[in-house]
Amino acid sequence: MKTISVLGSTGSIGKNVLDVAARSNGQIKVVGLGAGKNIALLAEQIRLFRPRLVTVMTPELAKKLANTPGLPRTQILYGKAGYRALAQMPEVDIVVSAMVGAAGLIPTIAALDAGKDVALANKESLVTAGPLVKAIADKNNCRLLPVDSEHSAIFQCMAGNRKEDIKRLILTASGGPFKDMSQEEMANVTAEDAIKHPTWSMGAKISVDSATLMNKGLEVIEASCLFDIRVDLIDVLIHPQSIVHSMVEYSDGSIVAQMAVPDMRIPIAYALAWPERMKLDIPALDLTKTAPLTFERPSMDKFPCLSMAYRAAKVGGTATTILNGANEVAVEAFLEGRIGFNTIADIVNEVLSSIAPEEINGLDDVLRADALARLKADNLVQCMTSAPPSRSIIT
C-alpha cells in the first residue's frame, strides 16, 4: 500500500486522483488533502477518505470547513504553512502536486525537501524553476513521476531504452477548440468558447492554455527539464484524436508510441503504482473503432504562444518564469472578460521582450522574476481595462 497526500484535490486532476484511489482496492491510502475555495467538494472528499490533515487557502475557509456538520475528525490548516505541512507529512510516500499554476511551486519544493517522491501534474513547477526543482530532487534522491498524459507517455516509451539512443521526443496536442479557425476568427471567441476542450475535461485556465497552445509550450519546457533533453530535440504534432499521447524516436529510426483512450486516470495510476501497473476498470482502446489517426505540424504564426515557449526555453534561466507569470495574468484577464483571446499572446510577448532573464541560483531569483512579469502584465492589462490588478500567487 502507498500513502498519498493530494495538493489540489478539488481540481480536475485531483478529482481523478481520488477516483483512482477509491478504485485501488486498498493499494492507495489518502492521508492528506489540500484544496482552494471549493469547501463543499472538499467536505465530501473528507467524508469519503477520512484524511488526517486537510489544508485550505485562508483562515476564513478553514473556519467554514470546521463548522461543516457531519465531518469526521481531521486537522484543518490553511495558507502557506498548511500546504507545506501537507507536502511534508511523515507517513506520506507520494505527494501529488496537482495545484494549478505557479502556486504549486512552493509546496512541490517542500515535498522534495522532505524527501518525498512527487507525482507531478503541476507543470509550472518545472517551467518556473526547473533547475532548482531538479537539483533538490536529485539531492534528496526523490523521484519526479509525471502525471500529464504526454509526459507519462514519454516516460513509458523510454522504459528499457538508453537515453543516449534518443533522437527526439514528439509531444502530441489535440489542437484545442480553435485549431481550424483563422487568427481573425479567434479574435472574437469568448472564454466560454475557449474552455470547451474537444477531448479532455480540464479546468478553465488549462483549457485556455490548450486553446492558445501555451499549454503545449509549457509541456515542451517541462519535458526538456524532466527528461534532460535539449528543447530543439522536442517536436509538437497536432493529433486531434488524442489516442497517441506522445512518442519517442530513437537513433535507429524506430518510433515508440504510447496509446490509450483519453482518460487521465491512466497516467495517474501509472505514476502512483510505478514501477508496477494498477488494474483499472476503463474500456480498452479498440483500434478497429477509432477514427483515422492524423498528425500535422502546428502553425507558429497562428499560435504564437507555442513559439514564445520555445524561445523562452532556449534562452533559459528565468525566461520561462517570466513567460509563465505573464501568461497566468493574461489568461486570468481573458477569463474575466477584460481582454480578447488574441491579446493573451500580445501581452506575453511584450512582457517576455521587456524583462531581461537571469540565471536561477535560488528561489529568490524565481520569485523576483515572477513578480516582475506579473507586474508588467498587470500594467499592460490596466492599459486596456479599469479593473484592479491581480496579485502574485507565488508566495
Q: Which of 300, 258, 266 lies closest to 283, judged by CA? A: 266
Domains located in the chain, CATH noted: 2-146 (3.40.50.720), 151-261 (no CATH), 316-384 (1.10.1740.10)
Residue 77: strand pairing partners:
55
CA neighbor of 315 nearest in space, from 284, 354, 286, 357: 357
Distance CA 104, CA 48 (A): 25
CA distance 50 to 58: 21
Extract the C-alpha cell encoding 114.
Answer: 522532505
> Is 202's pLDDT higher than 90?
no
Cα 233 to chain centroid distance, Å, stands at 21
User: Which tens digits make up the pLDDT trace of 239-250?
Assistant: 999 999 999 999
Above 50 in pLDDT, residue 392? no
pTM over 0.85? The answer is yes
The pLDDT tens digits for 166-187 are 999 999 999 988 988 988 888 8
